[in-house]
Structure 1
């Protein structure tokens, strides 16, 4: 099983999503950005590293959101998601072909990678706005 981490990267009332490039295994699918956890890394450390490598941004990883296991034809992944916010920079598309800031409601308009779909469904089911979620995280972390 491959351990992978994903960021629910927030700014005010929006989440950042990224579209995988042409030629990629999951080409043109949308996802919450992240990447593989390397040996010796925590999920949070991997997420911080991946955001710098793939988007050129410094992030603060906040609370755990959820995880799920998905079997792809090429292998099984465990995807672990955390809330995060940008400390420095604006996302640059170094690997992905597109990136967008979207509201919770807009998530349903995008064709997500299968492993990310449970996170989309949870966000929509909870019917919480991104802003409300961030406020709750900030209260819990005493920001």
Structure 2
């Protein structure tokens, strides 16, 4: 059986907003929105992976807190195990370095964005717990 690819994602919190990123045009899931993150590299913890990916993609410094949601998803030709963590923004001026765009949004507007399929269970959990997400691990 083929092992799933391990990837990470971050629900980055800043005041009463969370950060979402838009995928590049010429990538899988073109222009869909996602929680930023990326592939786990050899000899790297999920927390190290997230800190590295967020810096590379968005030029942000983050504090990685607790695991928030684990999602197993099968795309055509690819299986992933997505480890999503709650993170806190530690500052810096975000820039779309390795994504099409990014936005700080209110969680009440999550339905307005077309998310990649694997991130939908994360969206649903955020919507279920609501603004309590800003109090977890604070």
How many residues in Structure 1 have an aligned counterpart in Structure 2?
135
Within the candidate set 27, 33, 37, 2:36 is matched to 33
Q: Which residue of 2 aligns with 1:123?
A: 126
TM norm structure 1: 0.90
TM norm structure 2: 0.93
Structural RMSD (CA): 1.0
3-state SS of the aligned residue for 1:124? helix
Output aligned runs, 1:3-82, within 5 Å.
3-82=6-85
Q: CA deviation at 1:68?
A: 0.5
Q: CA deviation at 1:78?
A: 0.5
Q: CA deviation at 1:90?
A: 2.1
Measure, in 1, the Cα distance between the counterparts of 2:105 and 2:74. Answer: 27
Q: Which residue of 1 aligns with 2:137?
A: 137
Q: Which runs of 5+ in 1 are unaligned?
A: 139-143
Q: Which runs of 5+ in 2 are unaligned?
A: none
Q: Which residue of 2 aligns with 1:141?
A: none
